[in-house]
Amino acid sequence: MTAAREELARAEAEQADLAAATKAAEAAADADPDNKDLFSAARKARWNELKAGKAVQKAAKALEDAEAAAPPPPRELTDEEKADRAAPKPQGQWLIDGKKPLNNDERIKQDDAGLAVADRVREIYAKQGFDSIPAEDLAPRFKWIGMYTQRRQDMDGEQTSLLSNAELQDRYFMMRIRLDGGMMSSEQMRVIGGISTDFARGTADFTDRQNIQLHWIRIEDVPEIWDRLASVNLDTFFGCGDVPRVILGSPVAGIAKDEIIDASPAIKEIKENWLTRDEFANLPRKFKSGISGSVRQDITHEIQDISFIGSEHPEKGPGFDVWVGGGLSTNPMLAQRLGAWVSIDEVPEVWCGVVRIFRDYGYRKLRNRARLKFLVADWGIEKFRRILEDDYLGHKLTDGPEPEVFPGYRDHVGVHEQKDGRFYVGVKPTVGHTEGDQLQRLADLAEAHGVTDLRTTPDKELIFLNVEADAVDGLLEALDAEGLSARPSSFRRDIISCTGLEFCKLALVTTKQRAITLTDQLEERLGDLDVPLKISLNGCPNSCARTQVADIGLKGQIVTDDDGNRVEGFQVHLGGAIGMHPDFGKKLRGHKVTSAELDDYIVRVVEHYKDQRDEGEQFRDWVLRADEAVLQ
């Protein structure tokens, strides 16, 4: 609805300008009635004003339709319903406790809409510089426009727990470019690469939510960056903040031979017709979504707030199985099946219903309990489904069968035939790290081989779609020259890291460069591995790189080495997994590894696994039976 209001305001302003121009043109024509050019100009001005009037009428009708489609306000609950749905103590649930802010973040969100800061960026901050930005816009409102201040470069990991965010922050920003479903054209990638080169010191990283992230952004450059992004239909809005974040989607939606159903229409419907509504601009915390019809279940659905994964109903055909309440961080929880099957047409309605439950009943008092997973855990899945159906959908959902779990690699690295006979090619930049110049070269390279459709993935990969058979070998050769192999080792394919100490104010240790070095060491010393081995490096306990569900999860900490020095290191989690037999990795009691020891430690554990495993035994299964001494 916000977009409809903005369009009406723009149309009315344009009509007013044209009306003034018409008045001036007609006055000039009246003053010189024999001048045919002035008469023609006056007629043209009048015609433009009439067209603008029609545009105003169209925009007004669009706003009227949007307001009519907006849901009615939630009904007043009975005392019995409030008692049934309330937390044991007041937790800031809007429909139970009212909307009075219970912390400073909630007060700031109610004082002014998050996206309203975008106008101030253009009109004030970009012109007057970093020091003109007040604290309440800098954090949290800048998150709504996809920006955080990055970490000062002179602050080591020990400073993280000693200093505030304001003391740790630099005068530069991280900027997150939103790519719902990972969808990107070669021209869009070229523009992002140019922005990276011109404004971000060449930084560019694929994220595990299919976005592209830049660093070193100055506030003075933001309006031009936004304009360049808008020229190719991209933006950074809702990239961060207490809003629905980017929607994960299968990177091969609509083209994969083994696809159950193409989820792209549902992602497009939600992005274009629902995300812009004011009702979703103030949630208790972030809300993470995924929608995939792939048989590979390629959106890490077990750890999203809501996911829809492809499912074949025995009577109704292809559709989606619904999962809710997943998330990691310091209180990890796996999502639960709602037990419902929904059609492609029902996905947006169910998605909206779940987001509204979170908005109305989510715990806003304490930020560390404000995710949907806590509400689902407290209510239970049966109660959650009942309230969704009764209060937010107005009808019962269809019960559905549990989908079979895909047993192999979920990612899309390699060369794969599409259902139309063409091919897609997936490559893995190590930990998703690339540079602006490379993005521009890859855009040129793609087009030189007939490719204009690209995708990012939740595993930080890049996929080239619709490659003709006779162009595959040439594309692979060109990608190899860029250091991007479609046949990477298991180590390079499966390693992931967060941003780490280089830019993140929450981090305790360096992760990204350390992960790159670790990968090189594993390949040099062990060659390759014939099974998947997920390795995750995280700079802090927040698990942005999925510590708890990796085969080897490494959580950054400051540790004491053998000489008594305080140094960067990691707490070790082993045997975590999503997919087959999902579970969290076990922490080794009292076992921590310094960063200097990390390469040797990982090599040692992997060698033990290779020597002791039974035929076909996965790493996580071996961990469960291995002696703890062998794991240290």
Give the per-residue SS3 of 7-66. Answer: HHHHHHHHHHHHHHHHHHHHHHHHHCCCCHHHHHHHHHHHHHHHHHHHHHHHHHHHHHHH
Note the Cα 558 to chain centre separation in Å.
29
Query: Are 157 and 257 contained in the same domain?
Result: no
Query: Are 507 and 429 contained in the same domain?
Result: no
Q: Which residue has the tokens 């290191």?
A: 569
Query: Are 419 and 347 contained in the same domain?
Result: no
The answer, yes or no, to whether residue 5 has pLDDT greater than 90, is: no
Is 153 among the domain residues? Answer: yes
- pLDDT tens, position by position, 521-556: 999 999 999 999 999 999 999 999 999 999 999 999
pLDDT, average across residues 114-127: 97
Query: Are 446 and 390 contained in the same domain?
Result: no
**At a CB cut-off of 8 Å and minimum separation 6, what does 253 contact?**
181, 259, 262, 263, 264, 292, 293, 294
Which of 35, 51, 69 delimits the end of a domain?
69
Q: Which residues on adjacent β-strands are paired with residue 248?
A: 290
- pLDDT tens, position by position, 332-373: 999 999 999 999 999 999 999 999 999 999 999 999 999 999
**At a CB cut-off of 8 Å and minimum separation 6, what does 204 contact?**
192, 193, 196, 212, 213, 214, 434, 435, 436, 438, 439
Residue 272 pLDDT: 92
- Measured CA to CA, the distance from residue 262 to residue 264 in angstroms comes to 6
Is 248 among the domain residues? Answer: no
Residues in the chain, overall count: 632
- Count Cα atoms within 13 angstroms, Cβ side, for 18: 21
Structure tokens belonging to residue 208? 């595990």
Is 75 among the domain residues? Answer: no
Q: Is 499 left (phi over 0), alpha (psi -120 to 50) or beta?
A: alpha
Q: What is the DSSP string of 482-496?
A: TT--SS--HHHHHEE
pLDDT, average across residues 428-445: 98
Residue 624 pLDDT: 92
Query: Are 594 and 480 contained in the same domain?
Result: no
Is 282 among the domain residues? Answer: yes
Which of 369, 399, 429 delimits the end of a domain?
399
The domain spanning residue 337 has which CATH number?
3.30.413.10
Is 88 among the domain residues? Answer: no
Query: Are 258 and 359 contained in the same domain?
Result: yes
Helix axes 347-361, 264-273, angle to 10 degrees: 50
- pLDDT tens, position by position, 50-102: 777 777 777 777 767 666 666 667 778 998 988 899 988 899 999 999 999 99
Is 95 among the domain residues? Answer: no
- pLDDT tens, position by position, 571-590: 999 999 999 889 999 888 77
- pLDDT tens, position by position, 293-328: 999 999 999 999 999 999 999 999 999 999 999 999
Of 508, 573, 565, nearest to 540 by C-alpha is: 508
Residue 69 pLDDT: 64
Percentages (nearest 5) of helix, strand, coil residues in the chain: 45, 20, 35
Q: What is the DSSP string of 590-608?
A: EEEEEGGGHHHHHHHHHHH
Query: Are 483 and 507 contained in the same domain?
Result: no
Query: Are 328 and 344 contained in the same domain?
Result: yes
Domain region containing 513: 493-631
Query: Are 264 and 183 contained in the same domain?
Result: no
Residue 3 pLDDT: 61
Residue 401 pLDDT: 95
Residue 75 pLDDT: 79
Query: Are 540 and 617 contained in the same domain?
Result: yes
- Measured CA to CA, the distance from residue 57 to residue 52 in angstroms comes to 9
Residue 31 pLDDT: 83
**Sign of the C-alpha dihedral computed for residues 520, 523, 524 and 525 taken in this order:** positive
pLDDT, average across residues 230-240: 97
The domain spanning residue 457 has which CATH number?
3.90.480.10
Across all residues in the chain, what is the average pLDDT? 94
- Count Cα atoms within 13 angstroms, Cβ side, for 124: 10
Using H for helix, E for strand and C for coil, what is the string for 62-118? Answer: HHHHHHHHCCCCCCCCCHHHHHHHCCCCCCCCHHHHCCCCCCHHHHHHHHCCHHHHH
Domains identified in the chain, total number:
5
Q: Is 28 left (phi over 0), alpha (psi -120 to 50) or beta?
A: alpha
Q: What torsion do the CA atoms of 337, 342, 345, 347 make, to the nearest 10 degrees?
A: -10
Is 84 among the domain residues? Answer: no
Helix axes 436-448, 186-199, angle to 10 degrees: 160
The domain spanning residue 224 has which CATH number?
3.90.480.20
Would you say 305 and 353 are in contact if contact means Cβ atoms under 8 Å apart?
Answer: no
Residue 9 pLDDT: 78
Which of 474, 489, 504 delimits the end of a domain?
489
Is 90 among the domain residues? Answer: no
- Rounded (5°) CA angle 223-461-467: 100
**At a CB cut-off of 8 Å and minimum separation 6, what does 243 contact?**
114, 144, 280, 281, 282, 283, 286, 287
Query: Are 527 and 433 contained in the same domain?
Result: no
The share of the chain scoring above pLDDT 70, in percent, equals 98
Residue 478 pLDDT: 98
Query: Are 261 and 386 contained in the same domain?
Result: yes
Task: Determine if the pTM surpasses 0.75.
Answer: yes
pLDDT, average across residues 483-494: 96
